[in-house]
Structure 1
C-alpha cells in the first residue's frame, strides 16, 4: 500500500531513535499462560534509502543466519534485496521476466532439500484486479552475490468470490501451501493455495481471524485515514516450528495458532502493541524463531526487532 501520511525528515527520525522515543508505547498482552513472551522493541536499523524506499515485505533466509530478503511496494523495480539483521544492504537481485505490479509480501519455505522464496503480487487497493500472482524463486545460496534472478514458476490465481485487497503471504512446507490473509474484511480471512496449484486456481478459505482490535469511534473520527486503516492486515509470517502465525497491522502484532482443520475460528494467543511506527508493512521471524523483525514502508522505512524471552 502506498504512503498515507507525511513524515518528518530522515535526520529527525534518527534523532528520535537514538533517544528511544519510538518505543514508549509498546506493550504485550497474552491470553494463554504458555504463550511466548517478547522483549520490548529495539531499533534494528534503517535501510539504504536508495534500495528500500518503500519496504513492503520481509522474510528470513533459510540458507544463512542473520540474512533477510526484502521487497519494495508496487511500481518500483522488480528486485529482491538481501539485508542483514541491521538492515544493511548485502546485494540486489534483479528479477527477470515479471514486473512489480503491486508486490506486497515475500515468504520463504524449504522442500526436498532446497530453499525457496515466494513474492506475492497481490495488492489491490481498489478491488479491481482480475488476476494475482505468486512468483516463486530458488533462494540464492550467496546473498552477497547479487545479479539476476528468474522465477522457476509463477502461479496466477483468482479470489473465489471476487476481487479484494490483500498484502500478506506466508508459506508452510509442512502443509505444502501458501497462505494469504484478506486486508480489509472483518473478521480477517485466511486462505490456502497449494504449492502445486494450477494456473487460474482459487485459494480456499481455511479460517477466520477473530478478535483483532478495531479502531474505536474517536480514533476513526480524529485520525483520518490512519485511524481507518490501522487494523487492516499488512503482512504475516509463520514461525519456523510451523505453530504460530504473526499477523501484522498498523497498530499490533497478533499471534494466532496455525489452524489444524478447515473452517477454523482462530483467536490471538498473544498480542504486541507496536510503538509508534510509520506504516508497518513487513514482518519476519529469524531463522531460529528467537527474533521478530517489523519494517515500515514509509521513508526512512525504520525496522524494529523483538527478542523472544526465555521462560
Structure 2
C-alpha cells in the first residue's frame, strides 16, 4: 500500500477505536446483529513476526483447525499455515512468482475433482497502473507438519492472467463459488463496488482472460470504512461474507438457483464487528461453525486472530 493510503486508513480508524472505548459503533449507529453468529472470540496474538501484513486468510481443507495466511505487497512470496491459536505450523515458499500486491486468498474446487485448490489473488493496485492482474492456483499442499523442516517449497502452480472489461480496478476480495466453480472479485471503491465474475468454463492458464462485470454490491457506503477488503463464500455455497474496514456484511441464499451476483445485490445483514487495526482478512470454517478474521499489523498493535461462532 502507498504511504498516503496507509495514512488515510490511520485517520479513518482512529475514530473507530474511540467509539470502541465508549462501547459504541462507528458514527454512533449500532450494527444489526445476525442471529446466526455470536460476538467475536479473541483466540490470541499471531506468534510469527513474519506475518506483519496479513491481507488474506482461508481455512484449510486438509489440515484440521488450520488456516492459510499471506502478507500484502512487497513481501516475500510466502504462504503461512497457522493453527487456530495463531501459531505458525509451516511456511511455504512459492517458487517462480513475486508478491506484487497479494490481497486475498480462497480455497475451492479446480481441475482435479479429487483435490482442493488455493486461489491466491494478485489483485491489488492502489494506483490502478497495471493493465493485467493474476490469480495463482495451487493444489493445497499436503505435507508432514512433524518434520524438522519449517519451510517447504511449492513449484507447481497455475498462473491465471486477466484484465477488466473497461478500466483496470483495485480489488482486495477474491471468492470462489463451490457450486458453479466461478471466481468472483469485488472492486475496492467507494461508490457501488462492482462485482466481477470469471466463469469456470473460461478459466485458462494459456491466454489472457477478461472478467465479466455482473452487477453492483449492495452496501450502504459510509465513507472509507466501507471500502471492501475481503470476502468469502461458504463451503456449501449458501452464505457470503464481505469485509470492509468498518463492517462485516452477510448474505444467505435459500437455494442455489440464485446467483452470487443476485445475492450480493440484495439487502445484507450486518454482523456486530470487533474493530481491528486494519482488518482485511475473513474466512468461513469448512464445517460452517463460524468464521475467522485477521488484521494487518498497524500502529504497533500485534494482530489477533478472532473467531465468530455460529449460534
Do both proteins adopt the same fold according to a TM-score greater than 0.5, normalized to the shorter chain?
Answer: yes
**2:190, 2:221 within 8 Å by CA — same for their partners in 1?**
no
Alpha-carbon distance between aligned partners in 2 of 1:263 and 1:72, rounded to the nearest angstrom: 28
Deviations 1:237-280 (A, max 9, x none): 01111011100001111112468248636223311142231111
Report the aligned-residue RMSD. 2.5
Among 180, 185, 196, the residue aligned to 1:180: 185
Residue correspondence of structure 1 range 29-108 to structure 2 within 5 A: 29=32, 37-108=36-107
Contact 2:104 2:281 (C-alpha < 8 Å) held by counterparts: yes
Match of 1:303 in 2: 305
Q: Secondary structure at the match of 1:114?
A: coil
Distance 1:262 1:293, change over 3 A: closer
Q: What secondary structure is seen at the aligned counterpart in 1 of 2:228?
A: coil
Question: Structure 2 length normalisation: TM-score?
Answer: 0.82
**CA drift at 1:305:** 1.2
Cα gap change, 1:214/1:89 in structure 2, threshold over 3 Å: closer, same or farther?
A: same
1:197 lines up with 2:203 in the alignment: yes
Unaligned runs of 5+ in 1: 8-15, 216-227
Verify: 1:142 aligned to 2:146, yes or no: no
Distance in 2, matches of 1:71 and 1:190, equals 23
SS in 2 for 1:230: helix
Number of corresponding residues: 280
Deviation of 1:22 (Å): 7.8
Q: Residue 216 of structure 2 corresponds to which residue in structure 1?
A: 208
Is 1:156–2:161 an aligned residue pair?
yes
TM-score (normalizing by structure 1): 0.82
Identify the residue that residue 241 of structure 1 maps to in structure 2: 236
Q: Which runs of 5+ in 2 are unaligned?
A: 12-16
Deviation at 1:62, TM superposition (A): 1.0
